[in-house]
Amino acid sequence: MSPRFEAAGQAYPPAQISLLAVKDKAILELWAEPENQLPVFIHSYKIKALSGRAGPKLREGDRQVPEGIYKVLGLNPNSSYHLSMKLNYPNAFDLMHAENEGRTEPGSDIFIHGKAVSVGCLAMGDRVIEELFVLAADMGYENINVVIAPSDPRVASLDIPEEPLWVSGLYEEIAEEFMKYQQGQ
């Protein structure tokens, strides 16, 4: 990973990064977050597999990749999917809306992992998860933000489904977060 950061003029390991996932394009972007500077694009990865469609994850077993703003909670070197990084889905936002709607099982165990199969996770393939896993270990996984969007709001406004009503607010937050990351700023 060090050569990728050096090519972008960034120190390795970085203090903070963001991973931006775009579901409809199956792309995961890696951005360095230098202190008191604009984010710097480092690399783009093809997501090997992700399941579901546009829209948030609502329940356990729906095979839907969630949408929102997440953190990495931990690293699993003994994953069934080679290596994995656990996301904090459901986060407070997801839990609040599940509770308001009477959904008792909003899902769990969402990861960025290796292999090329997904039932709600971002499957990156083994080589890519090795790069991301080592990066997370080198810099501290708690310094990683993950933003998952149905499409890229930097290209076109997100299509807001009619249901559930709260998705419009979620998509505004996702779009606002994505706008911080512009190549060639």
**CATH number for 8:** 2.40.440.10
Active site residues: 113, 121
Assess if residue 43 is contained within a domain: yes
Assess if residue 185 is contained within a domain: no
Assess if residue 91 is contained within a domain: yes
Check: CB of residue 27 under 8 Å from CB of residue 47. Answer: yes
Q: What is the pLDDT of residue 183?
A: 81
Instruction: Print the domain residue range for 134.
Output: 2-151+161-178
Q: What is the pLDDT of residue 184?
A: 65
Contacts of 99 (CB under 8 A, 6+ apart): none
Domain tally, the chain: 1
Measured between alpha carbons, how far is 94 from 64 in angstroms, rounded to an integer? 13
Assess if residue 184 is contained within a domain: no
pTM score of the predicted model: 0.96
Q: What is the pLDDT of residue 185?
A: 56
Q: What is the pLDDT of residue 89?
A: 98
Of the candidates 54, 63, 69, the one whose C-alpha atom is nearest the C-alpha of residue 123 is: 63
pLDDT tens for the chain, 185 residues: list them: 999 999 999 999 999 999 999 999 999 999 999 999 999 999 999 999 999 999 999 999 999 999 999 999 999 999 999 999 999 999 999 999 999 999 999 999 999 999 999 999 999 999 999 999 999 999 999 999 999 999 999 999 999 988 899 999 999 999 999 999 998 65
